[in-house]
A and B are shown apart, each in its own frame.
Chain A
Amino acid sequence: SQKIEQNSEALNIQEGKTATLTCNYTNYSPAYLQWYRQDPGRGPVFLLLIRENEKEKRKERLKVTFDTTLKQSLFHITASQPADSATYLCALSNSGNTPLVFGKGTRLSVIA
C-alpha cells in the first residue's frame, strides 16, 4: 500500500543550526512533492513545490531536494530561528489533478 513517512514525530535543534527533515514514500510515483508548514489550530501554509524532474529547489533559508531513486525528499531550514518552530508536512500528488496526500508531519522546535 502507499505510504508517506516523515522521519520523526519531533525534532529539537539549537537556534542558528540547520534543521533537516526527511520524507520517504513507497508505492508512489509522484509527479511532484510539496512541503507545508502548519501552526497549531491553523491550516497548512504552502512553502515549496518540487517536481519529479527537479533535484533541488531553494527559497530564502529553505532548501528541498527530491531523489526519485531513493524515494526521498529532504527539507532543510538553514540558520534556524525560534519562529521556525512548527509542524512541517510533506505531501505528494501523482498528477496535477489528484489531491495531495500528506505525511504525519514533523514537529520542529528551535531552541534559543
Chain B
Amino acid sequence: GAVVSQHPSRVICKSGTSVKIECRSLDFQATTMFWYRQFPKQSLMLMATSNEGSKATYEQGVEKDKFLINHASLTLSTLTVTSAHPEDSSFYICSARDSFLAGRKDTQYFGPGTRLTVL
C-alpha cells in the first residue's frame, strides 16, 4: 500500500516551453501533497505544499507564478513549470500523506521522481 506515481518519469523540453508533471496517490487519499526538487548530490529541497481545494503554500525563494501547483482532487496534484529555462533542469519529486489512515498519517510517501531537462 501507499503507492505514489508520477508522470512523466523523464521529460526533455525546449527553453521557454511549459511542462506539466502529475503526482497521483494510487491507493490512498491525500489532502496534502508536497513538491520537492533535488539537484545532483544534493538533498531534497521543499518547493511547496499542495492543499486539496485551496492554494498551494510556497517556500521562500520559489516563484509561485513559475511553478504552478494544482491539487484538484484527493489523489492528484500537478506541478507546471512555466517558461522553463535550463536552470530549471532538475529532479522533481512529489510526496503525499495518507490523510485518513491513522497509522500512516505522519509518513510521507514519495513518487519515483521526474527528471526534467531543459535545452
Contacts and interface: CB of A to CB of B under 8 A. Distances in A.
Chain A bound to chain B: yes
Interface residues of B, number: 23
- For the complex, would chain B's binding face be called helix, strand, loop or mixed by DSSP majority? strand
A111 interface: no
Which of A44, A49, A97, A105 has the largest number of chain B CB atoms within 10 A? A44
Contact of A99 (B4, B34, B115): B34
Nearest to A98: B49
Contact of B43 (A32, A41, A97, A102): A102
A99 B50 CA distance: 11
B32 to A, nearest CB: 7
Interface residues of A, number: 23
A36 B44 CA distance: 12
B74 to A, nearest CB: 16
A94 B78 CA distance: 26
Interface of B: 2, 4, 6, 32, 34, 42-44, 46, 49, 91, 93, 95, 105-113, 115
Interface of A: 31-32, 34, 36, 41-46, 49, 89, 91, 93, 96-97, 99-105
